[in-house]
Amino acid sequence: MLAIISDLHFTDGTTSNWGSDPRCPGGRRDLFNVSPKAFRLFFSDIAEIVGRGNGIRKVKMIYAGDIFDLLRTTAWFDAPQSALPWSVPLAPAKLEAECGALLDKIIENNAKALAWLSGVEVAPGTGALRPFAELAAIWPKDVALERVYLPGNHDRLVNLFPSLRARVWSRLLGRGGEAKEFSNQYRDPDGHETFVMHGHESDPFNCEFTADGRPDYAAIPIGEPMTTCLFTRLGYEAELRKMSPEIVARLREVDNVRPTLASIRFVQDMIRRARIGKEMTSLIDRVVSEFQGLEFYKRWHKAHDRWNLGPDEADQLALALRAIQLLGTHLPVGLMEKACGLASDDSCQALALKCLRNPVAVGETHCVLGHTHEPAHTPLMVDDKGVQKHYLNSGTFRATLTKAFSGDSFVEFQRMSWVVIYGPDEFQPGERRPMYEMWSGLRRHN
């Protein structure tokens, strides 16, 4: 059986909002990172499925990208200029050191959650890894548990350096002594007919491509400095300007707004309620101007600005940034969607269909992606042999902010979602076709 989750976005806590909770270390609870209780529930549910008596002897956990978030942090604002992921020129050794220190903080800040995912924890006083007793207590003893990790766009940096890969092998997969490179794709060899990627390959702002159209995972996409230097920078600059704690807290949540384009409405709603139009216009103008001044942005724009009939990604981003500066906090979002070509599309479904039509995908019937934070299912096609092909999205475990159906207010809720794929005879005896289930739960988040 396969169990697939993605988009946990564990961070170092520097961009988190915090709540009072005497049960947590220091009396504070991180409201941004996923609570370890979520993984207790997840593994308990998977163990219950396994325990139904259908002969499941192995469960393969696939962590399908954006597990670690090396972009949503204020650490890059204090790093040396040559040590940023988007530095021009770049000092790789310095970047590795900065990434290693950041990943260590992320692991420390999410140690209990990672213990559930990896099955190991750090023994107090020794630093050695030992089996995680809470997982062992609920997991069926005769069922093997394997783990696979596929990097996404927010943890792309992990795969660049052996020292970072070794940390992930140990603290996410529970296998010390490993440092080999992680694959960005998973093709199941055990009859589940499933292909898995993170899904940022559908997004030209978060994945670069070679001349022949293949994903270039070593190349830096513009989405990396966008996440840090635009979204994360807003909350950071607001705090430096001593804006109210409520405004700072709201700006830290901008990157949790879905769909992403609704973040503009989210900021406008906040400005209207707090009556801080002038201050926010000044803040946005500075953040956008500094982003446009990055040497990396200038080179990216030049490389992606092509002569064609419609707006390319360079045109789309440039128009969006310019519109935000010119129209400020009164920007009509619908107008920007039309002008910049940024309205939502079916790119994930198109990518899934392309993957399943690939000649190497003969026999695969499920394509599972993440990236969007929206759990989804789309029947893609029925081939000439009557075989169904399906796209599934594993969603996220993170909090999500969504615009209310009426008005411009936003509501925050917590989501847990995952995908399960059963192999032959695992759903029920005699059922040879792979079967799937997609589970998604919501809870109001205060």
pLDDT bracket for residue 108 (50, 70, 90): very high
Please indicate whether residue 340 or residue 276 has the higher confidence score (pLDDT). 276
DSSP state string for 104-148:
HHHHHHTHHHHHHHHSEEEPTTT--EEE-HHHHHHS-TTSEEEEE
How do strand 58-63 and strand 144-149 relate by DSSP bridges? parallel
| Amino acid 281: pLDDT | 86
Please determine, for residue 236, whether its predicted confidence score (pLDDT) is greater than 70. yes
Please determine, for residue 376, whether its predicted confidence score (pLDDT) is greater than 90. yes
Please tell me the distance from the alpha carbon of residue 424 to that of residue 40, in angstroms, as a whole number.
Answer: 27
Please determine, for residue 71, whether its predicted confidence score (pLDDT) is greater than 90. yes
Q: If we measure between CA atoms, which residue out of 255, 252, 257 comes closest to residue 13?
A: 252
Torsion from C-alpha of 119, 139, 134, 374, nearest 10 degrees: 70
**By mean pLDDT, which of 136-145, 151-160, 293-302, 344-353 is the weakest?**
344-353
Beta partners for residue 442, in sequence order: 415
Contact call for residues 260 and 326 (beta carbons, < 8 A): no
| Amino acid 291: pLDDT | 96
| Amino acid 234: pLDDT | 93
199: left (phi over 0), alpha (psi -120 to 50) or beta: left
Contact call for residues 159 and 182 (beta carbons, < 8 A): yes
| Amino acid 327: pLDDT | 56
Please determine, for residue 83, whether its predicted confidence score (pLDDT) is greater than 90. yes
Question: C-alpha distances in angstroms, 144 versus 59, 178, 182?
Answer: 6, 20, 21
Q: Which two tokens stand for residue 269?
A: 């709603």
pLDDT bracket for residue 328 (50, 70, 90): low
Please determine, for residue 259, whether its predicted confidence score (pLDDT) is greater than 80. no
Please tell me the distance from the alpha carbon of residue 112 to that of residue 37, in angstroms, as a whole number.
Answer: 9
pLDDT bracket for residue 384 (50, 70, 90): confident
Please tell me the distance from the alpha carbon of residue 194 to that of residue 378, in angstroms, as a whole number.
Answer: 15
Please determine, for residue 162, whether its predicted confidence score (pLDDT) is greater than 60. yes
**Arithmetic mean of pLDDT, 323-334:** 62
Residue recorded with tokens 């990790």: 149
Q: If we measure between CA atoms, which residue out of 144, 191, 150, 187 comes closest to residue 422?
A: 191
Task: Sketch out the chain's domains with CATH numbers.
Answer: 2-80+96-219+358-444 (3.60.21), 223-257+260-340 (no CATH)
Question: How does pLDDT run across 283-307, given as a tens digit for each residue?
Answer: 989 999 999 999 999 999 999 998 8
> Which value, in Å, is the radius of gyration of the alpha carbons in the chain?
22
- Quote the pTM value: 0.94
| Amino acid 280: pLDDT | 87
Contact call for residues 42 and 418 (beta carbons, < 8 A): yes
Contact call for residues 144 and 60 (beta carbons, < 8 A): no
pLDDT bracket for residue 331 (50, 70, 90): low
> How many residues comprise the chain?
446
pLDDT bracket for residue 317 (50, 70, 90): confident
Please determine, for residue 350, whether its predicted confidence score (pLDDT) is greater than 70. yes
What is the layout of strands, in order, in the sheet containing 388-393? 185-187, 194-197, 366-369, 388-393, 376-382
| Amino acid 403: pLDDT | 84
